[in-house]
């Protein structure tokens, strides 16, 4: 195999490799109802799940860290949220959304806090913020 053929073959492999990497990147939404999570506690949150009309997973957030935005087809100022701190499950469970207005298109943050994980009654608190 001559030098030109070898260079051409390497270039093709490089282009195919770059193409595959672009395809697997997660796109960050820029339109719709976009919600992110902010960890306002001193604890690491794991397995964060938000459920409104659909379920979105946010993974792990260190203290004071914010997640990327995720798009929802509809949302409210609060939602069903569950997460784990040191393998203990914390849940914010809305009773209903009666009287609540649906959010309009835009960016929002659910700021989450847990004051005390040592007691059996440790609570997950949510503060809603329009970005």
| Helices and strands (H and E) in the chain: how many | 1, 8
Question: Can you list the domains of the chain with their CATH numbers?
Answer: 28-130 (2.60.40.2890)
Task: Using pLDDT thresholds of 50, 70 and 90, give the confidence band for residue 23.
Answer: very low
Res. 14: pLDDT tops 80 = no
Q: Which residues lie across from 37 on neighbouring strands?
A: 110
pLDDT (0 to 100) of residue 26: 57
| 45-51, strands of its sheet edge to edge | 55-61, 45-51, 80-85, 88-92
pTM of the model: 0.76
Is 85 buried (19+), middle (13-18) or exposed (0-12) by CB count in 10 A? middle
Per-residue pLDDT for 57 more than 50?
Answer: yes
């Amino acid at each position: 195999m001559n030098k030109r053929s070898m260079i051409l073959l390497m270039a093709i492999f490089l282009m195919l490799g770059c193409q595959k990497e672009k395809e697997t990147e997660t796109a960050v939404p820029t339109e719709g109802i976009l919600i992110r999570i902010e960890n306002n506690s001193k604890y690491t949150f794991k397995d964060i799940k938000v459920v409104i009309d659909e379920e979105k997973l946010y993974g792990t957030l260190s203290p004071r860290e914010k997640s990327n935005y995720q798009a929802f087809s509809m949302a409210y100022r609060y939602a069903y949220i569950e997460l784990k701190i040191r393998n203990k499950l914390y849940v914010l469970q809305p009773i209903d959304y009666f009287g609540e207005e649906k959010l309009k298109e835009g960016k929002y943050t659910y700021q989450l806090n847990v004051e005390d994980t040592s007691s059996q009654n440790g609570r997950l608190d949510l503060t809603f913020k329009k970005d």
